[in-house]
Amino acid sequence: MAQLWGGRFTKQTDDEVFAFNESLSFDHRLFAQDIDGSVAHVVMLEKQHIITLDEKDAIVKGLTSIKNEVESGKLEFTSEYEDVHSFVEAKLIEKIGDAGKKMHTGRSRNDQVALDMKLYVRDEIVAIDSLIKKLLETILCTMENNLETYMPGFTHMQKAQPTTVAHHFGAYFEMFKRDRSRLADIYKRMNYSPIGSGAFAGTTYSLDREYTASLLGFEGATLNSMDSVSDRDYIIEFLSALSTVMMHLSRFSEEIIIWNSNEYRFVEIDDAYSTGSSIMPQKKNPDIAELVRGKTGRVYGALVSMLTTMKGIPLAYNKDMQEDKEVTFDAIDTVKDCVHLFTGMIATMKFRKDVMAKSAMMGFTNATDAADYLVKKGMPFRDAHGVIGRLVLYCIEKDCCIEQLPIEELKEICDLFDVDVYDAITLKTCVEKRLTKGAPSPEQMKKVIEIQREYLNKDVEENEK
Ligand code: ARG
């Protein structure tokens, strides 16, 4: 084992203790961020005349070649190092000698790990955001292509009123759009640099923390050095936002699983996104949707784990905080896989338009519209509700839908019915007449789609800036 301390100790760390304590086996993920952070730190140290130009150049050169060697596979993360920070420092000293020993001037692993993790989460926010954006593109295309794909909308899992696939998918567009805005908020709030806070009490060197922060693309430097090293709020917020993304994906998956079931047959998941059974030859299972739904649990787990880890930690740094890494990394990997695969699944999924429309027709989803018809003929809504309720009961007994009854029979139930009722309660009319903002009529949906298109395009311009 190669350690960063020794002076105060008379014995080597016990092997099991070392293995329990180490984090290199997982924090090597922070390698690129660790190098970037160290480069910025030493550039600042030189600007402040804390190290010489030659020393800075030697360190930067050394760090760059360590980075290249790791990337090319020439240098491996071997288990004698405690964490990524000690690994990099040891390799640097091996490579450039005494100048390497100056890299850690005015810094502690506490502010260093706080920085690395922030840089990492910041990068991952951007990566996850762009995956969600691709999902939104796919949802919007589905909306554009299904303005008049009728389906029943449900409340209490009972057919309620007719809607369209465009409208239903539009609801998910809103959810994932909010997810992106949540991630953007977190990015903004967390974007302050902790480096230069030292162990927790700052340092006596004249560091220019604002300068280091600006080199690393932060909005500025954090204002309290104790908080800098012990703040993991942004990880909790991030995991909470990821949990919400998963909650949305899970709801969507649940619907797709139901729609894909033998009873519903609203959609057909593409063969490429389905799996078979080892025993039942007829089966085509929606495993991807089920796994996305299932993996939601582990992302929630990461959030609860972090909340619990943090709740009892006194200021400032405590080793408990090392526990932030594995759960966060796992949540990030899970969310990225889920968003990506889910996008492919819905992009290739087929809608059985006939089955959906028939289902909407057969479920009395036009009952509200039939009541509204009577209201337009002068009947108060509450009375109309009662009449249509009786009419539905009558239809259930006759095993038919409202529009299948001849006008004479309708008139027997209520003399306000006329032949124009048939037109008033077709699926098409029911949907087309729903013109309130946010409602499923193609006319309204087109307006919404235009707004969402603009939102996605504007985003591209902003990213290119
Ligand atoms: N591996 C540690 C972590 O992830 C790095 C910080 C160590 N600091 C310390 N004082 N032991 O939190």
CATH number at residue 296: 1.20.200.10
Contact 66, 88 (CB under 8 A): yes
Q: What angle do the packed helices 31-47 and 84-96 form, to 10 degrees?
A: 60
| Band of residue 338 on the pLDDT scale cut at 50, 70, 90 | very high
Do residue 195 and residue 323 come from a single domain? yes
Do residue 88 and residue 180 come from a single domain? no
| Ligand 1 mean position, distance from CA 91 (Å) | 18
| Band of residue 125 on the pLDDT scale cut at 50, 70, 90 | very high
Q: Which among 360, 321, 264 has a CA at the least distance from the CA of 112?
A: 321
Q: Residue 285 carries which DSSP code? A: B
What is the pLDDT of the chain when averaged over all its residues? Answer: 95
pLDDT at 42: 98
Cα atoms in the 13 Å half-sphere on the side-chain side of 12: 8
Q: Which among 286, 293, 249, 268 has a CA at the least distance from the CA of 349?
A: 268
What is the largest distance, in Å, between two alpha-carbon atoms of the chain?
A: 102
Token pair for residue 452?
Answer: 């969402």
Residue 268 identity (one-letter amino acid): E
How far apart CA 86 and CA 80 sit, in angstroms, is 10
Give the atom of ligand 1 at the shortest distance from the alpha carbon of 82: 1
Q: Look at residue 304 and tell me whether its pLDDT is greater than 90.
A: yes
Do residue 95 and residue 131 come from a single domain? no
Distance of CA 127 to the CA centre of its chain: 10
Q: Mean per-residue pLDDT for 98-112?
A: 97
CATH number for 404: 1.10.40.30
Task: For residue 77, give every residue at least 6 positions away whose Cβ sits within 8 Å of its Cβ, in sequence order, or none.
Answer: 24, 28, 31, 70, 84, 87
Do residue 131 and residue 78 come from a single domain? no
| Ligand 1 mean position, distance from CA 82 (Å) | 9
Assess whether the C-beta atom of 328 lies below 6 angstroms from ligand 1.
no
Residue 179 has a CB neighbour count (10 Å cut-off) of: 24
Q: Mean per-residue pLDDT for 58-82?
A: 97
Q: Look at residue 461 and tell me whether its pLDDT is greater than 90.
A: no
Assess whether the C-beta atom of 235 lies below 6 angstroms from ligand 1.
no
Residue 463 in domain: no
Please state the φ and ψ torsions of residue 267, each to the nearest 5 degrees.
-135, 160
| Ligand 1 mean position, distance from CA 85 (Å) | 9
Do residue 97 and residue 115 come from a single domain? no
Q: Look at residue 311 and tell me whether its pLDDT is greater than 60.
A: yes
Q: Residue 379 carries which DSSP code? A: -
Point out the domain boundary residue: 301, 328, 353.
353
The one catalytic residue in 277, 278, 340, 441 is 277
pLDDT at 413: 94
Whether 277 is catalytic is yes
Contact 230, 313 (CB under 8 A): yes
Do residue 309 and residue 378 come from a single domain? no
Q: Which among 322, 306, 189 has a CA at the least distance from the CA of 236?
A: 306
Q: Look at residue 462 and tell me whether its pLDDT is greater than 70.
A: no
Assess whether the C-beta atom of 318 lies below 6 angstroms from ligand 1.
no
Domain housing 180: 110-146+164-353
Domain count, the chain: 3
pLDDT at 5: 65
pTM attached to this predicted model: 0.94
Residue 5 in domain: no
Please state the φ and ψ torsions of residue 180, each to the nearest 5 degrees.
-65, -40
Q: Mean per-residue pLDDT for 102-115?
A: 97
Which residue's C-alpha comes closest to atom 4 of ligand 1?
Answer: 322
Residue 325 identity (one-letter amino acid): K
Q: Look at residue 114 and tell me whether its pLDDT is greater than 70.
A: yes
Letter string b/e over residues 35-63, b meaning 16 or more CB atoms within 10 A of that residue's CB: bbbbbbbbbbbbbeebbeeebbebbbebb
Residue 239 in domain: yes
Do residue 75 and residue 182 come from a single domain? no
How far apart CA 395 and CA 405 sit, in angstroms, is 8
How far apart CA 239 and CA 170 sit, in angstroms, is 25
| Band of residue 332 on the pLDDT scale cut at 50, 70, 90 | very high
Residue 437 in domain: no
In a mutational test of the pocket of ligand 1, which residue from 8, 319, 323, 329 has the highest number of ligand atoms less than 8 Å from its CB? 319
Point out the domain boundary residue: 322, 353, 384.
353
Residue 6 in domain: no
For the chain, give the percent of residues with pLDDT over 70.
Answer: 98
Residue 440 in domain: no
Contact 436, 157 (CB under 8 A): no
Do residue 116 and residue 185 come from a single domain? yes
Do residue 66 and residue 127 come from a single domain? no
Residue 4 in domain: no
Enclosing H/E stretch for 161? strand 158-164
Q: Look at residue 187 and tell me whether its pLDDT is greater than 60.
A: yes
| Ligand 1 mean position, distance from CA 112 (Å) | 9
- CA torsion through residues 417, 422, 428, 429, sign: negative
Do residue 133 and residue 220 come from a single domain? yes
Do residue 287 and residue 346 come from a single domain? yes
pLDDT at 153: 96
Q: Look at residue 366 and tell me whether its pLDDT is greater than 80.
A: yes
pLDDT at 460: 57
Q: Which among 176, 165, 185 has a CA at the least distance from the CA of 133?
A: 176
Least confident of 6-10, 165-169, 402-406: 6-10
Residue 232 in domain: yes
How far apart CA 409 and CA 402 sit, in angstroms, is 10
Whether 167 is catalytic is no
| Ligand 1 mean position, distance from CA 322 (Å) | 6
Assess whether the C-beta atom of 112 lies below 6 angstroms from ligand 1.
no
Assess whether the C-beta atom of 109 lies below 6 angstroms from ligand 1.
yes
Do residue 215 and residue 347 come from a single domain? yes
pLDDT, tens digit (0-9, with 9 covering 90-100), for 372-406? 999 999 999 999 999 999 999 999 999 999 999 99
Q: Which among 170, 172, 174, 182 has a CA at the least distance from the CA of 129?
A: 182
Point out the domain boundary residue: 301, 323, 353.
353
How would DSSP label each residue in 123-153?
Answer: HHHHHHHHHHHHHHHHHHHHHHHTTT-EEEE
